[in-house]
C-alpha cells in the first residue's frame, strides 16, 4: 500500500460526510460490524436518521448476496484474492451503498435477465412479482430466489444500477449500487445533483485490489466511531492466524494512530475528520492515516518524526521512558509519546509526507508497516 494512496482517496471523498470501503472476506461477524459502523454514522447525520432502518436492511441484503452468491477463489488467481467489495458513502443527504462480488462467467446471463426484469417493473408490478416468487419459485441451491434483488428495488424505490466487469477467464465481478435520498421533493437553490457513479466505486475497488487494501474509512474519528473499526480489524486478525502478541501489537499501533488523528486533526464543522486505511503486504500489516493539520504545526511535527526516525531501538526506548517520567502532559488529553511507542514496534521507519492544501491547512499522511 503506497503512502500516496491516502491523499488519492482523501481527495476523491473529501466532500463526503463519511465513506467506508471494504475489500475482503465477508463473514457474519465482519458484516455485522460493517452494519454497526454504518448505523452509527447514519445516526450522527440528522438528515439521514429517518432512513436508518431502510439503509440497514439494504446493506444486510447486499451482504447476504455477497455471502450467498460470491465465489471464493480457492487460490485460483492468487492466494490473497478477496471475496467481496462494499462501500457506503454519504454525500449531502444522499446515501450510497455499493457492493461487488465475483460470479462465475456462465452465470452472468441469468443474473442479467433477473436484473433487467426487476428494472422493467414499476412499484406495483414489483409487489406482484415479489409475491409470485415467494409463493412459487423453487429456492435455488444457494438459498436465494431473486428475492433479494426484488427487495432492493422495492425498498430503494430506484432502478438497480449494476455493472459486470471482467476479472479472469472464469470469473467476473458483479457490482450493484443503491442510492437512498431523504424524502424531500425540492432541491435547494444552487444544489448540485448526485454525481457519484458506480464506475467511480469500481475504480476505488480496483485500486484497493492492486494495493492490497482491506479497509478505508473516512469520517468522524471520535472514540465511538473508532471502536467498530477496531473490531472489524480484530476480526480480520483472528482470521490471519497471527499469534496473540502480534495481534495486540497491531491493535496498539491502530489505537495510537487513530487517537492521534482525533487529538491533532483540524476540526471541520464540529467533526474530527481524517482517513485511515489498512492493507497487507506479505506477512505484514500496513496502516496509512491522513488528516488535515494547521500549517503552523508542520515544522514541529516534521522535527518530531525526523527525530524519532533518527534513533535506534535502544535510543527510542530511552526517549520513551524519559517521556513517561516527564510530568508535563500536553493539553489535548494525549501524552506526546504515541508515535515514539509506535516507532519501536515497526519494521521500518515512520514514512510520512506533508502537502500544503491551502493557506491554513496541510495534509499529513503517515504510513507504517508492522
Partner 1 sequence: MIDKLDIKGTRDTPEIVFDPENNVFEISGNSLPEDSEKFFTPIFSWLEAYIKSPNKETTIHCKLEYFNSSSAKLFYQLFIEFEKIKESGNEIRIKWHFDSGDTLIEEKGLEFKSVLDIPFEMIEK
CB of 243 to partner 1, least distance (A): 7
Residue 311 CA to residue 335 CA, distance in Å, equals 20
Q: Helices 198-210 and 4-13, interaxial angle, to 10°?
A: 170
Beta bridge partners of 97: 88, 178
| Under rule CB under 8 A, residue 251 binds partner 1 | yes
Using CB under 8 A, pick the residue from 62, 256, 274, 285 that binds partner 1: 256
C-alpha cell at 104: 462465475
| Under rule CB under 8 A, residue 134 binds partner 1 | no
Listed ranges 143-151, 191-199, 302-310, 324-332: which one lies at the site for partner 1 (CB under 8 A): 324-332
C-alpha cell at 369: 508497516
How many residues line the site for partner 1 (CB under 8 A)? 30
CB of 269 to partner 1, least distance (A): 19
Using CB under 8 A, pick the residue from 12, 52, 54, 252 that binds partner 1: 252
| Under rule CB under 8 A, residue 227 binds partner 1 | yes
Residue 259 CA to residue 277 CA, distance in Å, equals 14
Listed ranges 50-58, 61-69, 279-287, 333-341: which one lies at the site for partner 1 (CB under 8 A): 333-341
CB count, 10 Å around CB of 291? 24
**Contact mark string toward partner 1, 148..177, x via CB under 8 A:** ------------------------------
Tell me the CA end-to-end span of the chain in Å, nearest whole number.
13
CB 291 within 8 A of CB 362: no
Could you tell me which residues come within 8 angstroms of residue 148 by beta carbon, excluding any fewer than 6 positions away? 61, 64, 65
Could you tell me which residues come within 8 angstroms of residue 151 by beta carbon, excluding any fewer than 6 positions away? 57, 61, 130
| Under rule CB under 8 A, residue 327 binds partner 1 | yes
CB of 161 to partner 1, least distance (A): 38
Residue numbers of the site for partner 1 (CB under 8 A)? 222-223, 227, 243-245, 248-249, 251-252, 255-256, 259, 262-263, 317, 320-321, 323-325, 327, 329, 333-335, 337-338, 340-341
Amino acid at each position: 500500500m503506497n503512502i500516496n494512496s491516502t491523499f488519492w482517496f482523501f481527495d476523491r471523498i473529501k466532500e463526503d460526510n463519511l465513506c467506508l470501503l471494504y475489500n475482503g472476506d465477508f463473514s457474519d461477524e465482519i458484516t455485522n460490524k460493517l452494519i454497526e459502523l454504518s448505523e452509527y454514522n447514519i445516526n450522527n447525520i440528522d438528515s439521514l436518521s429517518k432512513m436508518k432502518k431502510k439503509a440497514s436492511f439494504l446493506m444486510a441484503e447486499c451482504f447476504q448476496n455477497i455471502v450467498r452468491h460470491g465465489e471464493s477463489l480457492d487460490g485460483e488467481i492468487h492466494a490473497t484474492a478477496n471475496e467481496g467489495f462494499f462501500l457506503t458513502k454519504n454525500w449531502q443527504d444522499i446515501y450510497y451503498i455499493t457492493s461487488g462480488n465475483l460470479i462465475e462467467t456462465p452465470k452472468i446471463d441469468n443474473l442479467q435477465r433477473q436484473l433487467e426484469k426487476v428494472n422493467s417493473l414499476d412499484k406495483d408490478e414489483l409487489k406482484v412479482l415479489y409475491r409470485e416468487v415467494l409463493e412459487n419459485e423453487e429456492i435455488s441451491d444457494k438459498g436465494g430466489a431473486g428475492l433479494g434483488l426484488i427487495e432492493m428495488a422495492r425498498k430503494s424505490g430506484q432502478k438497480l444500477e449494476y455493472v459486470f466487469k471482467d476479472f479472469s477467464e472464469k470469473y467476473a465481478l458483479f457490482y450493484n449500487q443503491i442510492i437512498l435520498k431523504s424524502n424531500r421533493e425540492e432541491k435547494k437553490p444552487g444544489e448540485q445533483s448526485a454525481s457519484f457513479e458506480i464506475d467511480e466505486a469500481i475504480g476505488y475497488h480496483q485500486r484497493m485490489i492492486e494495493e492490497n487494501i482491506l479497509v478505508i474509512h473516512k469520517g468522524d474519528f471520535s472514540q465511538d466511531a473508532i471502536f467498530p473499526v477496531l473490531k472489524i480489524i480484530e476480526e480480520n486478525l483472528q482470521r490471519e492466524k497471527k499469534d496473540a502478541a502480534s495481534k495486540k501489537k497491531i491493535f496498539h499501533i491502530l489505537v495510537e494512530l487513530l487517537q492521534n488523528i482525533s487529538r491533532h486533526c483540524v476540526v471541520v464543522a464540529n467533526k474530527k475528520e481524517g482517513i485511515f486505511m489498512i492493507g497487507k503486504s506479505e506477512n505484514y500489516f500496513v496502516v496509512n492515516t491522513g488528516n488535515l493539520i494547521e500549517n503552523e504545526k508542520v515544522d514541529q511535527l516534521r522535527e518530531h518524526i525526523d527525530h524519532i526516525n533518527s534513533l535506534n531501538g535502544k535510543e527510542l526506548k530511552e526517549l520513551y521512558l524519559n517521556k513517561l517520567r516527564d510530568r508535563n502532559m500536553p493539553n489535548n488529553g494525549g501524552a506526546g509519546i504515541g508515535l515514539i511507542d509506535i516507532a519501536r514496534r515497526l519494521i521500518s521507519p515512520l514514512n510520512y509526507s506533508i502537502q500544503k492544501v491551502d493557506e491554513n491547512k496541510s495534509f499529513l499522511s503517515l504510513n507504517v508497516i508492522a
